[in-house]
Structure 1
Amino acid sequence: MLSGDTGEAVRKRGAGALALSVEDAHRRIQQAALTESAVGRIGLELENHVVDLGDPARPVCWDRLEPLPAAVREAAGACAVSREPGGQLELSAPPRASVSAAVAALRADLDRVRAALAPHGVGLAQVGTDPLRTPRRANPSDRYRAMEEHFAAVGTVVPGRVTMNATASVQVNLDAGPRRVWPDRVAHAYRLGPALVAISATSPWLCGAPTGWQSSRLRAWFGLDQRRCLPFFDAGSRGTVTDPTTAWARFALRAPLMFVRTGDGLSAVRADVTFEQWVTGEVRLSGRSPTVADLDLHLTTLFPPVRMRGYLELRYLDALPTRWWPAVVAVTTTLMDDPVAADLAAEAAEPTDSLWSQAAHQGLADPRLANAASRCLHIAADRVPTELRPAVADLVDLVESGRSPGDLLAERFRAIGPQAALAELARST
């Protein structure tokens, strides 16, 4: 029973499930949002498009995908291995004590996984969207089936199909820090977002053609229900005191439900129903009130650019080829966790902190974002760990030339075609 709950507020249902009041739900979301800690650990999650090396244009069917984790789990070391709706393979690394250790460990695990997959004729491509193949669901799980049905019912079929099946990101997970810094820390994670999006966007092509967007991945996510996917916390002016756990609870309660548990499976919610409407009794689903388990499931369907899971999960970076993702991770972590770099970067990024759509669409072609990106990179370059400075210097040189990793990919797609370019990405190390 949650601290402060009463027998009247929380009623036992079924096999120990707990029915909630709206106050219980709000309190539980707040309590789980962030955990007090020191600052310094970093966890990384890297999503990879699975590519048939013999025929990159051919989707890799589930019958071929399903056995692969057995071949790669040992190779993945400490990483957890999971499969996304379109068959993307995700490596989730445990927290490490430094960004250098996190990058080195994930690179080693990724190299071993590539080697384990090669005998199966399969490669991994790190890029924000699959530039070639038509998005389609491969993973038959109840969760992804219900997600697909929800998107169809609420009129977001196209962005839903893309986000589920054709996108990949590198997620940076950082400690929440002491409670007193939470407002500034969450605001700063959002403040940096557009500049870092402009630097890291690598998804200018989709379905074999250019989209006109630098990050087609973010374009698709922003095309879903804004109550689920847009920022829940205003970066605001520095020094503004707003409790991010309260903002997160309000966001979660007002976000639409995607699916609910029914019997042994999940059933798509086919109407616009928020968790708040369900928990207050305004709407009933499956003939019952929501439980703690329903709330916990709902929280897994929220996808803002920064999500709170006890720690900060930065979700706004496209997956990048191995030449670039270590540098982007090092820059992001340094600008967040190094107090000197964070203070300087706050000033540099503040003028662009609301330019999410412009960053996804134009990237560094927007002069405001180009200026903020350049300043942030130079700030980080002087303070990243020594072993990562060459990679960061490479990225600085590229951005100073007016280009991003996504621009290089777009040039390659045009030069040799998306099929050859996808094969090249899948074979690269």
Structure 2
Amino acid sequence: MQEINHRETEKVVLVGCDFEGDDVAFQHSMDELKSLVETAKGTVVGMLTQKRQKVEPSTYIGRGKVEELQALIDEKGVDTIVFNDELSPSQIRNVHTRTKTTVIDRTQLILDIFAQRARSREGKLQVELAQLSYLLPRLAGQGLALSRQGGGIGSKGPGETQLESDRRHIRRRMDEIKHQLEAVVGHRQRYRERRKQNEVFQVAIVGYTNAGKSTILNRLADVATLEENQLFATLDPTTRQFILPSGMKVLLSDTVGFIQDLPTTLVAAFRSTLEELQEASMLLHVVDSSNPDYVQHERTVKELITDLEAEKIPQLVVYNKSDQKHSDFFPSHEEDSIEISAFEQEDLESLKHAIEEKLMEQMTEYHVVLRAEEGNLLSRCRETTLIQKQEWNEETEHYELRGFVLPDTALGHELAIRSIVERKERN
């Protein structure tokens, strides 16, 4: 119980350098760092910023700023210093030596949050792998800053035994984790192949952290997954089924939220999970239109989608929280987009129709006549195609179907052949 209380009251000072000279973007970045600290159960009691041309190699900030930092620590009783960048091992060691205070960089803070949020075995393994990848080159000179046990920010996860182990032991543990993850990846791949065989259309929800992805999934699929107004509320991927207005069944997958400067070790560790994007037939890119930095958030997500080689998958940009949108908000017209509030039922219906229209771009039209005894084929058409017209002819006892189907599926090939044959017969 003491650990929880400690985490809730840990006093943190933020440190950031503006190298670009963009005051607005820098302030957004520092605000985001503050949100990250709060998500990690820390309390920000001070902020130290500096404009520089380049990084100070030894301490990241200049000598004068280190003295200011020390004074702030003494005044506020600071427990932890959090830098808004990834520091080198020597920079962490030097700042800790001069301030006698725990030093955490942005990367370790994000890793710590992921460690708190991981629930599934796969998620926990992926986070531990990312943490060990981060710690391996930083074993030398960690000193008192990271050797403590307890619940402070940056100490969540592998624990003291890993931090004080030699490189050989950590590499061995990383190999063990990779081996265990291979089994999970194999299971996930088999699950994807089964979905393809079942001709299920998959839509992946992507977006910046806290954009409202889980809320949209819950409302569309009528389920209850975790919804919180916090960064990285959802870590473990969730897949649920929902039905479009035409009756077509679609799988909707929620994914881990992206963030600016997402640690490369984390992207590498979560690659098997993020591969869900590559297998999707369509991406719902959710953007928080109430956030003043929504343009940068949208750009960050698009860059990560490109890094994951998923940029060719059709996208529908969903500008969420339209009831709270920022005064400077203006939607981008590079992609098809829609503005909604996930809490408005009318907006959700509009989103479903927009998804149908986007799906239709990937489909081919079919027109077939089914006999009454072909109930199985009729059921497949209802569940896996976009039916535009369905009529029962009493005289001939046939169903006439018109709609759209994915051409590269078994059903797509079957309906294409039948459409051609029946067109010839009608002519």
Q: Under a length normalisation based on structure 2, what TM-score does the superposition of the two structures give?
A: 0.25
- Structure ranking higher in strand proportion: 2
For CA contacts below 8 A with separation 6 or more, give which structure has more relative contact order.
1
Q: Under a length normalisation based on structure 1, what TM-score does the superposition of the two structures give?
A: 0.25
